């Protein structure tokens, strides 16, 4: 276990993280918020690194715009403010993380600090979450025009999205597309808190990356692995203009 984390934990709580390993979940008692706090901190650091990447990539590397019309011009400071201030995004997700953790709604293994990151669990979480998200996405587009209009349609007003539009949508869309897949994955894959942190950090970063207005250096490798790229996602956004109140055309339904 990292000495830095142990020292930080002792500083803030007076105890080391080892005291939280395999902590018992006793009825009527609140679980320790240490794992929750570290997890949220991990996502914050991950998002900060993603934003730093976009700043450097956009301003100093002359990346290729995904759409022929070019990237939408914007102030990077405005994009950061927009990205962080979305109530339908980070606020709902933060509430979900705090609520499921503090009310003991997560499987028991998630409260354990034993071991390190188990990457097979991280990969399985990503796969399960992606599959359930695909089902929810398909449901929003296909179930009924009213469901699409009041859930996913606000996100599709971005025909030429940028990275800061990743979580810019509606509360119902966040619940269906993010929170339900997250909760399903948590109950399918029983991992420790370190794996949960790694998964959440990677997942939030990936959702931001696929809304990039520019290509990424790793896109060709991702396509060979069958992983959706920002270019693939732009095809989907450009295929569903905001004026569409009905069922979307079938030629782009398989593009995530």
How many domains does the chain contain in total?
Answer: 1
Sign of CA pseudo-dihedral 8, 9, 14, 19 = negative
SS3 214: strand
- Is residue 176 within 8 Å of 151, Cβ to Cβ? yes
Per the prediction, the chain carries an average pLDDT of: 86
60: in domain: yes
- Terminal-to-terminal C-alpha distance of the chain: 38
Single out the residue of 8, 4, 42, 23 nearest to residue 196, CA to CA.
Answer: 42
pLDDT in tens, 195-240: 999 999 999 999 999 999 999 999 999 999 999 999 999 998 887 6
Single out the residue of 238, 242, 216, 243 nearest to residue 228, CA to CA.
Answer: 216
The values of phi and psi at residue 214, to 5°, are -125, 155
The values of phi and psi at residue 65, to 5°, are -65, 145
SS3 5: helix
225: in domain: yes
pLDDT in tens, 8-38: 444 344 344 554 544 445 445 889 999 999 9
- Distances in Å between the Cα of 128 and the Cα atoms of 26, 180, 181, 186, 246 are 29, 11, 8, 9, 29
216: in domain: yes
12: in domain: no
59: in domain: yes
- Is residue 71 within 8 Å of 65, Cβ to Cβ? yes
- The pLDDT of residue 252 is 34
Say what the pTM is.
0.84
Q: What angle do CA 182, 155, 144 make, to 5 degrees?
A: 80
- Is residue 176 within 8 Å of 136, Cβ to Cβ? yes
Structural domain containing residue 69: 33-252
pLDDT in tens, 122-154: 999 999 999 999 999 999 999 999 999 999 999
- The pLDDT of residue 29 is 81
Single out the residue of 109, 80, 77, 98 nearest to residue 187, CA to CA.
Answer: 109
- The pLDDT of residue 90 is 83
1: in domain: no
171: in domain: yes
**Is the confidence at residue 245, as pLDDT, over 50?**
no
117: in domain: yes
Q: What angle do CA 253, 130, 104 make, to 5 degrees?
A: 135
Q: In angstroms, rounded to a whole number, what is the distance separating the alpha carbons of residues 71 and 87?
A: 25
């Amino acid at each position: 276990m990292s000495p830095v984390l142990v020292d930080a934990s002792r500083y803030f709580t007076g105890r080391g993280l080892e005291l939280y390993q395999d902590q018992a979940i006793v009825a009527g008692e609140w679980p320790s918020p240490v794992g929750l706090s570290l997890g949220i901190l991990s996502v914050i650091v991950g998002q900060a690194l993603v934003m730093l990447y976009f700043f450097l990539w956009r301003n100093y590397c002359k990346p290729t715009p995904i759409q022929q019309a070019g990237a939408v011009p914007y102030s990077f400071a405005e994009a950061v403010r927009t990205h962080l201030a979305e109530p339908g995004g980070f606020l709902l997700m933060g509430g979900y993380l705090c609520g499921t953790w503090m009310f003991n709604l997560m499987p028991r293994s998630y409260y354990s600090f034993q071991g390190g990151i188990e990457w097979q669990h991280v990969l399985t979480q990503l796969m399960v979450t992606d599959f359930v998200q695909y089902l929810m996405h398909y449901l929003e587009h296909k179930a009924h025009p009213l469901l699409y209009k009041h859930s996913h349609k606000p996100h599709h007003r971005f025909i030429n999205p940028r990275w800061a539009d990743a979580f810019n949508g509606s509360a119902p869309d966040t619940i269906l597309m993010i929170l339900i897949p997250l909760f399903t994955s948590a109950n399918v894959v029983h991992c420790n808190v370190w794996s949960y942190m790694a998964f959440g950090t990677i997942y939030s970063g990936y959702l931001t990356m696929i809304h990039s207005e520019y290509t990424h250096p790793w896109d060709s490798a991702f396509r060979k692995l069958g992983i959706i790229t920002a270019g693939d996602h732009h095809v989907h956004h450009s295929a569903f203009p905001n004026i569409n109140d009905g069922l979307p055309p079938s030629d782009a339904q398989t593009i995530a």
